[in-house]
Amino acid sequence: MIKLWGLLLFILLSSESGRCDELVILSPHWEGIKSEFGREFQRYYKGTTGKEVTLRWLDVGGGTSDILKFVRTQYKSSPDGIGVDIFFGGGTEPYLALKKDALLAPSQLSPSVSSKLQLELNGVTLHDKEGYWYSAALSTFGILYNKKVLSLLSVTPPRDWKDLADPRLNGWVSLADPRKSGSAHMVYELLLQRYGWDLGWRLILDLAALTRNFSASAGRTVEDVVLGEAAATFTIDSYGAEAEERAGSEIIEFVIPSESLLVSGDAIALLKGGPSPDAARLFIDFVLSENGQKLFYLKQGAEGGPKDFELRKLSVLPTIYQSTDASERAVPLNPFAVSSEFSYDQRGSTRRWGLINDLIGIFVIDLHSSIKAYQADSQLPIGGVLGAPLSALEAEKVLAKLETGEGESRRRLIELWRERARVSIPKKYRGSTLLRALPLIALLTLAVLSLLRGMSGRHRKGN
């Protein structure tokens, strides 16, 4: 009997010593980031703890709004923990919301890492003072376009947001729904801040009149451009870099409008009640360390840089821009050294996040087909015809009343706005079916242009 218990104890201890730790990470990041950080963290973890670790990546699909909804729903049924250690990526807004919901846990960084972090950049907070979330990398926003499609349409490559409102791009602009995509929301907010409330809304409406449809995710708009189904879209830098690498710079290009540079954080945080908190804290510390930041910032193959995928994201460490050689950097931009007249109001953006989503949803996306029909008939920029759905003063009053609970409820406001939106469009354009025909019209246009180019080339050869 004693020998039997000894054998059982030996088997139990052997299985425990050979067990591999596991880290569960919820992330919308693309495969390149998951691959590079997964491989290098496993190496770091082995060297630090002497143990192996596996990383299980969860992607619930959709944009940041869908991820936020998933996390909240899971915690309602399992308030002590949802079996996920880390939330990685998706901007910073979801992290502000999750901290407010008490669904994050603080993470204490090692002094060697925390001492190098900067709290703010041009008015944008880069990490939580109490350690509940940290910007793992910096993100910029820009325009992604297909060179071949633009050439066929005889449109000059865009360099500023207003360039996307070119009437020749009718049916060739791809946009995302800000209620589904956090990165799309950031660009709409950027337009409102860069050009002011009234002009910003005019531009949003003009772009809506040119787009074929509003996708549920920013990734879908990028795919449209890569496949040549759209000429241009706006997107976050990581999507733009991935698309350019995948399709080739001779076809795809991503540009950042220099006069309205917005740099924001792409965050990481511990979720409350995660199954492996110690491993999770090590992962966050590694991501924010110089070795982790080099994976984001350096070129593929550079010493300390990524091995298989070039990630092309800006580092959150100001010192890394001085300690690396320019020839090694995948992104030729130092956001800590850029001086810009444009200053992003993060506090105001956070405060009106839901309001902007509601207004764009009701007055733009829900009326999309009617807006396109109205635009086609009037032959005038629709933004100037319809204007902002609310004045800046009205919007501020709505926000103040929603915050104090003194005015109409959000549900009642949405009902009122839907009726207001409906009557803002002349009756004959309401419910227009023109939008359904646009993809076919756009494809036929491209086919005709391509045919004409071919005929022109053969004619020149014949001469």
For 309-337, the pLDDT digits (tens) are: 999 899 999 999 989 998 999 888 888 98
Q: Do domains 20-137+264-328 and 139-262+344-439 have the same CATH topology?
A: yes
Q: What is the pLDDT of residue 10?
A: 35
Task: Quote the Cα angle for 177-217-58, to 5°.
Answer: 140
Q: How far apart are CA 216 and CA 118, in angstroms?
A: 34
- Counting every residue written for the chain, the total comes to 463
Is 305 within 8 Å of 328 (Cβ atoms)? yes
> Is residue 136 over pLDDT 50?
yes
pLDDT in tens, 40-60: 999 999 999 999 999 999 988
Q: How far apart are CA 232 and CA 247, in angstroms?
A: 14
In words, the CATH class of domain 139-262+344-439 is: alpha beta
| DSSP assigned state of 314 | B
Confidence band for 282, pLDDT divided at 50, 70 and 90 = very high
Residue 156: both structure tokens together: 């000059």
In words, the CATH class of domain 20-137+264-328 is: alpha beta
Residue 388: both structure tokens together: 């902002």
Domain boundaries, the chain: 20-137+264-328, 139-262+344-439
Centre a 10 Å sphere on the Cβ of residue 449 and count the other Cβ atoms it contains. 15
Residue 454: both structure tokens together: 């071919």
Confidence band for 14, pLDDT divided at 50, 70 and 90 = very low
> Is residue 458 over pLDDT 50?
no
Confidence band for 237, pLDDT divided at 50, 70 and 90 = confident
Classified as helix, coil or strand, 106 is coil
Q: What is the pLDDT of residue 453?
A: 54
Confidence band for 17, pLDDT divided at 50, 70 and 90 = very low
> Is residue 8 over pLDDT 80?
no
pLDDT in tens, 420-438: 999 999 888 876 544 444 4
Across the chain, what does the average pLDDT equal?
A: 88
Q: Kindly give, in sequence order, each residue whose CB lies less than 8 Å from that of residue 157, ignoring residues fewer than 6 positions away.
A: 145, 147, 150, 253, 255
Task: Quote the Cα angle for 331-332-333, to 5°.
Answer: 95
> Is residue 249 over pLDDT 80?
yes
Mean pLDDT of 131-136: 98
What is the reported pTM? Answer: 0.77
pLDDT in tens, 350-371: 899 999 999 999 999 999 999 9
Q: How far apart are CA 231 and CA 442, in angstroms?
A: 11
Is 93 within 8 Å of 350 (Cβ atoms)? yes
Top-ranked range on mean pLDDT: pick from 181-195, 268-282, 325-339: 268-282
Torsions phi, psi of 127, nearest 5?
A: -160, 160
Query: Which residues are 264's β-sheet partners?
Result: 139
Q: How far apart are CA 36 and CA 52, in angstroms?
A: 17
Report how far apart, in Å, the C-alpha atoms of 246 and of each of 30, 138, 171, 299, 407 are: 12, 22, 24, 15, 50
Residue 250: both structure tokens together: 């001779």
